[in-house]
Copies of this chain bind each other. A is one copy, B any other.
């Protein structure tokens, strides 16, 4: 699949990403990574100094993957309604492709809060975004229910992300297979979109 820059370093990172995401930091051995990458296990320490350093590198990449698209969208000059809809679509597609991205990140942050400092830059950008200003303006104009942008973002993210955080549980409780879950998730998204939009844009403006 990936043809560009097929260096050994990249091969190790790809393998490490796969294994770390599947087993977590504590559940992964350096030999797991080495065998997944098809290399001698000493080679990992040649390129990255240690398991911890390699993990940090992967973790940064994964956090970027998680946040960069969202941050871009948040700062785009489009209407609030559009923005909210696109934010949800973007996250949904991201999670359909990487179903355990969020639980991996959240759990590693919980186990080792120092990793937060790596994501500090991205996290801090959210409260100071165009989105935030748009919300305040819309409230001032009486277009949407008065509510802080942090709460709106939390609503958007929570309703999508938790769907995937709890995916195994949901599949069991409802007796779904992979396809069944995807159908459920897709349907749920529509409900959530309606719910959030109807809540925000409550006093419906003139047609």
Interface residues of A (CB under 8 A from B): 23-24, 26-27, 100, 103, 106-107, 109-111, 113, 116, 119-120, 123-124, 126-127, 147, 150-151, 154-155, 157-159, 161-163, 165-166, 168-170, 172-174, 184, 187-188, 191-192, 194-196, 198-199, 202
Cross-chain contact B27 with A173 (CB below 8 angstroms): no
In the complex, which residue of chain B has the Cβ closest to the Cβ of A123?
B173
Known: A150-B174, A173-B126. A168 touches B23 (CB 8 A): no
Cross-chain contact A162 with B157 (CB below 8 angstroms): yes
Whole-angstrom distance between the Cβ of A127 and the nearest chain B Cβ: 6
How many Å lie between the Cα of A139 and that of B92 in the bound state?
28
Which 5 A-B pairs give the minimum distances between C-beta atoms? Answer: A158-B162, A26-B26, A123-B173, A26-B27, A195-B199
Question: Which of B162, B187, B188, B191 is within 8 Å of A161, CB to CB?
Answer: B162
Cross-chain contact A169 with B106 (CB below 8 angstroms): yes
How many Å lie between the Cα of A106 and that of B164 in the bound state?
10
**Contacting residues, chain B, for A165 (C-beta < 8 A):** 103, 106, 161-162, 165
**Contacting residues, chain B, for A100 (C-beta < 8 A):** 110
